[in-house]
């Protein structure tokens, strides 16, 4: 789920113009190995019929690639966060190691000083003990000597030994932390490469989808989402309803990818939500009425809206590109709240909120792939889609935008 918006999408006044004619498309991606052909010019019934196979193949590719990049993007974010945590631990251990070394040096200096005091005329304490008689007047000196000089030596020796043990333990821990950092760094590189490859494949597919072909894909996806909603409503068992809901959600994602802001995309989302309801999705976000943002939520929401139009880019957290958790992280940072750049971690950091109690600025968390939290959006509560408006950095080929609320994969809400 990354990368800049494709060239065939141009935002004008909130509308998405699909301006290029239906053209021949080369191989969509290396991942599928499929190719598509078509006829340039205005699509008549013959060209549409000839493009049906291409539309179906591209729709399947887009759905698969968007889900893959969603999962890999979150994996990349989490591995990056873990590496940062390990590096912070290394800094703390290194600081403690430096402090231990300083105490060690001080203990050795004290040991030298006490040794001079204890071993008068270079004689060991054991020999000095035989010189002094406990029954003589010199016994007082003997006792004083034992209680001070030799006691100081023992204390200094113990301090040196203790600090040597601390140095060894701290050094061992530091080496372990450094080894873990190397492992985490390799994991970051691997997840980054995988996410980049998935992104490149998705962008290659989107680049081949132009003009009326994109419109055809969006409309077909909307039709299929409606069909799946009907199947989910009529299904006799939960497994069938769930399968239909999953397919409707994929169709809605495709429609949004190639026709975000269009009537087809909005209709597909509505159908997907209906299918999710049939599959057992419970709860309604908010109270159904538009809500004005207030307090910290207003600050965060205003900051998020400042990124409208910024292209999606996995791992992104700047005006040059954002992913889902990058957007919410920056938005809530403006409100003085620190969040980790990970959808899953942001759920942990947020205070759980009942869906019916969600307020503008709150975060909605999704498990789209079935393997854990992999997407986060911000509830707007009042916007182009009324009370059901969200703002998000969705996936490859889109920009930060307002979208209708969708329920498939929704697992909960949180307030940072």
Residues 6+ apart with CB under 8 A from 31: 61, 64, 65, 201
Two structure tokens written together for 365: 């968390």
3-state secondary structure of 237: coil
In the predicted structure, residue 414 carries a pLDDT above the cut 70: yes
Closest CA to 325 of 334, 312, 335: 312
pLDDT tens, residue by residue, 177-219: 666 666 766 766 777 677 777 778 777 777 777 777 888 888 8
**Mean pLDDT score, 355-379:** 92
pLDDT tens, residue by residue, 240-256: 998 898 889 888 888 88
pLDDT tens, residue by residue, 16-63: 223 233 333 333 333 333 333 333 333 343 454 555 566 666 666 676
Two structure tokens written together for 75: 């994996």
**Mean pLDDT score, 278-293:** 82
pLDDT for the residue numbered 308: 96
Distance CA 161, CA 155 (A): 10
pLDDT for the residue numbered 349: 96
Distance CA 2, CA 7 (A): 15
DSSP labels, 134-163: TTSTTHHHHHHHIIIIIHHHHHHHHHHHHH
In the predicted structure, residue 416 carries a pLDDT above the cut 50: yes
pLDDT for the residue numbered 218: 86
Radius of gyration of the chain (CA): 33
In the predicted structure, residue 293 carries a pLDDT above the cut 80: yes
pLDDT for the residue numbered 7: 24
Name the burial class of residue 157, with classes exposed (0-12), middle (13-18) and buried (19+) by CB atoms within 10 angstroms of its CB: middle
Choose between 137 and 394: higher pLDDT: 394
Closest CA to 217 of 410, 91, 63: 63
Full-model pTM:
0.61
CB atoms within 10 A of CB 93: 19
Percentage of residues in the chain with pLDDT exceeding 70?
Answer: 58
pLDDT for the residue numbered 160: 62
Supply the DSSP symbol for 387: G
Two structure tokens written together for 21: 């004619």
Give the chain's length: 416
- β-pairing, 401-404 vs 351-353, is unpaired
**Mean pLDDT score, 110-120:** 61
pLDDT for the residue numbered 42: 35
In the predicted structure, residue 266 carries a pLDDT above the cut 60: yes
Choose between 204 and 124: higher pLDDT: 204
Two structure tokens written together for 78: 């989490």
pLDDT for the residue numbered 43: 39
- Residue 107 banded pLDDT, cuts 50, 70, 90: low
Distance CA 66, CA 256 (A): 11
Distance CA 129, CA 124 (A): 9
Question: According to DSSP H, which parts of 209-323 are helical?
Answer: 211-234, 238-259, 263-278, 295-305
- Residue 173 banded pLDDT, cuts 50, 70, 90: confident
- Chain center to CA of 76: 7
Two structure tokens written together for 276: 């999710």
pLDDT tens, residue by residue, 325-359: 999 999 999 999 999 999 999 999 999 999 999 99
- Please list the residues that pair with 376 across neighbouring strands: 365
Q: Which of the residue ranges 91-100, 269-278, 304-313, 364-373 would you say has the lowest mean pLDDT?
A: 91-100
- Please list the residues that pair with 200 across neighbouring strands: none
**Mean pLDDT score, 110-125:** 57
Q: Which of the residue ranges 63-72, 235-244, 316-325, 393-402 would you say has the lowest mean pLDDT?
A: 63-72
């Amino acid at each position: 789920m990354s990368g800049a918006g494709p060239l065939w999408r141009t935002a004008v006044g909130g509308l998405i113009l699909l301006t290029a004619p239906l053209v021949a498309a080369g191989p969509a991606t290396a991942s599928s190995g499929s190719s598509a052909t078509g006829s340039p010019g205005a699509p008549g019934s013959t060209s549409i019929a000839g493009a049906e196979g291409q539309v179906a193949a591209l729709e399947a590719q887009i759905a698969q690639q968007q889900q893959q990049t969603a999962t890999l993007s979150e994996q990349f974010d989490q591995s990056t966060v873990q590496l940062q945590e390990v590096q912070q631990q290394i800094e703390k251990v290194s600081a403690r190691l430096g402090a231990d070394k300083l105490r060690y040096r001080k203990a050795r200096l004290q040991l030298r000083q006490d040794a001079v005091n204890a071993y008068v005329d270079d004689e060991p304490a054991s020999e000095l003990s035989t010189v002094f008689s406990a029954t003589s007047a010199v016994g007082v000196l003997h006792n004083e000597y034992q209680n001070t000089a030799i006691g100081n030596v023992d204390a200094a020796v113990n301090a040196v030994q203790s600090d040597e043990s601390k140095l060894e333990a701290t050094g061992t821990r530091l080496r372990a932390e450094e080894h873990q950092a190397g492992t985490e760094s390799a994991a970051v590189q691997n997840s980054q490469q995988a996410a980049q490859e998935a992104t490149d494949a998705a962008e290659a597919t989107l680049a081949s989808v132009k003009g009326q072909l994109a419109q055809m894909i969006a409309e077909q996806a909307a039709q299929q989402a409606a069909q799946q909603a009907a199947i989910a409503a009529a299904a006799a068992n939960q497994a069938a309803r769930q399968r239909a809901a999953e397919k409707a959600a994929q169709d809605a994602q495709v429609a949004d990818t190639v026709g975000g802001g269009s009537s087809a995309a909005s209709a597909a989302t509505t159908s997907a939500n209906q299918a999710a309801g049939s599959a057992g999705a419970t709860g309604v976000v908010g109270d159904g009425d538009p809500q004005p943002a207030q307090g910290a939520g207003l600050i965060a929401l205003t900051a998020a809206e400042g990124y409208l139009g910024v292209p999606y880019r996995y791992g992104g957290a700047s005006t040059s590109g954002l992913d889902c958790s990058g957007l919410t992280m920056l938005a809530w940072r403006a409100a003085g709240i620190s969040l980790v750049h990970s959808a899953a971690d942001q759920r942990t950091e947020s205070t759980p909120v009942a869906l019916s109690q969600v307020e503008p600025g709150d975060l909605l968390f999704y498990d789209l792939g079935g393997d854990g939290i992999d997407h986060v959006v911000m509830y707007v509560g009042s916007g182009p889609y009324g009370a059901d408006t969200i703002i998000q950095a969705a996936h490859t080929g889109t920009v930060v935008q307002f979208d209708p609320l969708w329920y498939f994969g929704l697992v909960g809400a949180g307030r940072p």
